[in-house]
């Protein structure tokens, strides 16, 4: 009997991370839903997965804290027997022109997006089983370069560089590492503070003329996490409807 594959999804309580967790759960993965503060939302994701016959649990973890991340992986191994897929969907976004940038916001964003991804990736590199994968999250703003996105895009550019080196660090392990770079996606984080007019204008920019949905991105992650996607390694997949 083939052992059940196990996925850890940081930022799994909302937005794209929630969609990833539920999609992987539906594909037969046991899922550890990592969350920082949204316990009720994380519990809802777990309930959704288990209601459909899956296995899941929620674990609180600050991805930038080494001890939290170690506990996250320890729990996955104790409860489900190992780790096959790690999805680093936890993220923070702060938008401002460079001249008006709040450096405390910059530090907080980089702590989650850069340090948090690195801490998660480091633990994943130590523990993911052969045949597994690590998926980090970038943003298509690294190449689109819209105004006010400088600091956020810079943090995600670091994630892309980290991911490409990580794939090569894992030589001989049969573990892949890729980054997914969404474009405009209809999540609370993206929609917050934007007018309906601005959202409509952004939705018209891709050739497909709509915003991405969290499920669109989750399907890309599910492919990378599957045996069918295992030959994709050391890549940045720009899932943005054709914007760049």
Q: How many whole angstroms from its chain centre is CA 137?
A: 5
- Please state whether beta strands 176-180 and 236-237 pair in parallel, antiparallel, or not at all (unpaired): parallel
CA 223, CA 126: separation in Å to the nearest integer?
23
CA 41, CA 70: separation in Å to the nearest integer?
22
CA-nearest of 202, 95, 110, 199 to 149 is: 95
- Please state whether beta strands 6-10 and 30-35 pair in parallel, antiparallel, or not at all (unpaired): parallel
Q: Catalytic positions, please?
A: 152
CA-nearest of 7, 126, 103 to 55 is: 7
The DSSP letter of residue 156 is: H
Are 107 and 115 in contact by the 8 Å Cβ rule? The answer is no
E strand or H helix that includes residue 31: strand 30-35
């Amino acid at each position: 009997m083939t052992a059940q594959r196990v996925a850890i999804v940081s930022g799994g309580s909302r937005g794209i991370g929630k969609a990833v967790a539920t999609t992987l759960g539906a594909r037969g993965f046991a899922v550890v839903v990592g969350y920082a503060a949204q316990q009720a939302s994380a519990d809802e994701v777990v309930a959704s997965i288990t209601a459909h016959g899956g296995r899941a649990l929620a674990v609180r973890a600050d991805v930038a804290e080494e001890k939290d991340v170690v506990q996250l992986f320890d729990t996955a191994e104790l409860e489900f027997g190992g780790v096959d897929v790690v999805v680093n969907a936890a993220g923070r976004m702060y938008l401002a022109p460079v001249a008006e940038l709040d450096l405390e916001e910059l530090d907080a964003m980089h702590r989650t997006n850069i340090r948090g991804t690195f801490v998660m990736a480091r633990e994943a590199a130590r523990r993911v089983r052969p045949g597994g994968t690590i998926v980090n999250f970038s943003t298509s703003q690294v190449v689109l370069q819209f105004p006010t996105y400088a600091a956020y895009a810079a943090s995600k550019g670091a994630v892309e560089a980290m991911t490409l080196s990580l794939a090569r660090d894992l030589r001989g392990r049969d573990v892949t590492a890729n980054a997914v770079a969404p474009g405009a996606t209809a999540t609370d984080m993206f929609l917050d503070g934007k007018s309906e007019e601005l959202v409509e204008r952004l939705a018209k920019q891709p050739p497909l003329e709509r915003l991405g949905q969290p499920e669109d991105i989750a399907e890309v992650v599910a492919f990378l996490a599957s045996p069918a996607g295992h030959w994709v390694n050391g890549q940045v997949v720009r899932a943005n409807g054709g914007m760049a």
